[in-house]
């Protein structure tokens, strides 16, 4: 019965042209409750960092899982598992202390357009970074007065490609708002690391970014539903669209707007499955 009512609410909200802010908030709040729970983890790339308990392992596993998160979710998860198996499922220690011979398996790595060159540069950057930093959090931290993580993402991009002779091809895998990218994968990664609501999905192990500074990851499911709910009016799909959506979600919850990523993504999947 509850499922039937929920499907009716989704259909009504997505098809009608007169839904109110209150009706949309009611729908989205209900879907957050439904999807922001441990049952969401198993079939999502976030299952990869959930295999670890050490802070640095979670950071590294989450970073790779987020960067590789395009395509079918089963394929993403399998690619990540293969990658970390080559690290003996101990990514922080591997990053710090691997030898050149330990990198040989990575020469065969490929996930869509992410290949061995990219994987080896990621490892090289992380080794250089963790040799002098305790946590990857410091590479992303935002100033308290900054309204969003926009400048933090730009600073991270510049830091990530600060190693001499970095491969130009790898730049396409680490987005930056400076190029008007939606930065979907990095936005998702920051959601994982920053949000802390004790629901068991996001980790909340970083505190130098406030949840209110996060931006909503904008994938095809989220965008489609957000446009139908008129949370997005901008015709283009770029960084400014991400900011527009996030500002709309702040009207529902100014402290934790990105929790609605669960709702928009979940509705998008339901819409696809039920052909609403």
**Statement to judge: residues 164 and 182 lie in one domain:** yes
Question: Quick one: which of 186, 174, 201, 179 has its CA closest to 148?
Answer: 186
**Statement to judge: residues 240 and 183 lie in one domain:** no
Rounded distance between C-alpha atoms, residue 167 and residue 37, angstroms: 39
User: For residue 179, what pLDDT is reported?
Assistant: 96
Contact 271, 225 (CB under 8 A): yes
Q: Directed axis angle between helix 21-35 and helix 260-274, to 10°?
A: 90
DSSP 197: -
End residue of a domain, out of 215, 244, 267: 215
User: For residue 1, what pLDDT is reported?
Assistant: 41
Classify residue 38 as exposed, middle or buried by CB count within 10 Å of its CB (0-12, 13-18, 19+): exposed
Q: Is residue 18 part of a domain?
A: yes
User: For residue 10, what pLDDT is reported?
Assistant: 54
End residue of a domain, out of 193, 215, 237: 215
Q: Domain tally for the chain? A: 2
For residue 274, give its domain range.
Answer: 1-35+216-276
**Statement to judge: residues 148 and 262 lie in one domain:** no
**Statement to judge: residues 145 and 270 lie in one domain:** no
**Statement to judge: residues 171 and 184 lie in one domain:** yes
End residue of a domain, out of 197, 215, 233: 215
Rounded distance between C-alpha atoms, residue 120 and residue 266, angstroms: 34
User: For residue 271, what pLDDT is reported?
Assistant: 72
Q: Is residue 40 part of a domain?
A: no
Q: Are strands 114-115 and 110-111 parallel, antiparallel or unpaired?
A: antiparallel
**Statement to judge: residues 65 and 23 lie in one domain:** no
Question: Quick one: which of 6, 136, 5, 3 has its CA closest to 60?
Answer: 136
Rounded distance between C-alpha atoms, residue 208 and residue 138, angstroms: 8
276 residues of the chain, pLDDT tens digit each: 444 444 445 555 555 454 788 999 999 999 999 999 999 999 999 999 999 999 999 999 999 999 999 999 999 999 999 999 999 999 999 999 999 999 999 999 999 999 999 999 999 999 999 999 999 999 999 999 999 999 999 999 999 999 999 999 999 999 999 999 999 999 999 999 999 999 999 999 999 999 999 999 999 999 999 999 999 999 999 999 999 999 999 999 999 999 999 999 999 988 765 554
User: For residue 3, what pLDDT is reported?
Assistant: 43
**Statement to judge: residues 68 and 108 lie in one domain:** yes
Buried b (16+ CB within 10 A) or exposed e, 212-249: ebbbbbbbebbbbbbbbbebbeeeeebbebbbbbbbbb
**Statement to judge: residues 122 and 227 lie in one domain:** no
**Statement to judge: residues 18 and 61 lie in one domain:** no
Q: List, in sequence order, the alpha helices (H) in 18-149.
A: 21-35, 55-67, 73-85, 91-97, 116-130
**Statement to judge: residues 80 and 159 lie in one domain:** yes
**Statement to judge: residues 120 and 73 lie in one domain:** yes
The model's pTM is 0.93
**Statement to judge: residues 51 and 28 lie in one domain:** no
Contact 160, 109 (CB under 8 A): no
In the chain, how long is the greatest CA-to-CA distance?
63
Q: Is residue 257 part of a domain?
A: yes
Q: Is residue 106 part of a domain?
A: yes
Rounded distance between C-alpha atoms, residue 160 and residue 153, angstroms: 10
């Amino acid at each position: 019965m509850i499922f039937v009512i929920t499907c009716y609410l989704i259909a009504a909200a997505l098809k009608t042209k007169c839904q109110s802010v209150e009706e949309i908030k009611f729908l989205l709040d209900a879907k957050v409750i439904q999807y922001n729970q441990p049952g969401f983890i198993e079939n999502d790339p976030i299952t990869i960092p959930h295999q670890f308990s050490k802070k640095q392992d979670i950071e590294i596993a989450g970073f790779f899982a987020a960067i590789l998160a395009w395509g079918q979710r089963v394929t993403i998860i399998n690619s990540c598992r293969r990658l970390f198996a080559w690290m003996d499922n101990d990514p922080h220690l591997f990053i710090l202390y691997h030898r050149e011979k330990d990198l040989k398996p990575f020469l065969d790595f490929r996930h869509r357009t992410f290949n061995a060159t990219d994987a080896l540069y990621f490892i090289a950057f992380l080794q250089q970074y963790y040799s002098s930093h305790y946590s990857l959090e410091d590479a992303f931290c935002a100033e308290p007065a900054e309204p969003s993580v926009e400048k933090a993402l730009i600073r991270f991009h510049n830091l990530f490609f600060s190693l001499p002779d970095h491969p130009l091809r790898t730049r396409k895998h680490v987005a930056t708002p400076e190029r008007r990218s939606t930065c979907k994968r990095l936005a998702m990664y920051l959601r994982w690391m920053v949000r802390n609501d004790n629901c068991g999905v996001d980790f909340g192990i970083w505190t130098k970014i406030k949840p209110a500074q996060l931006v909503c990851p904008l994938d095809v499911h989220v965008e489609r539903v957000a446009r139908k709910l008129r949370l997005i009016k901008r015709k283009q799909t770029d960084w400014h669209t991400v900011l527009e959506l996030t500002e709309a979600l702040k009207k529902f919850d100014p402290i934790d707007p990105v929790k609605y990523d669960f709702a928009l993504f979940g509705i998008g999947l339901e819409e696809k499955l039920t052909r609403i």
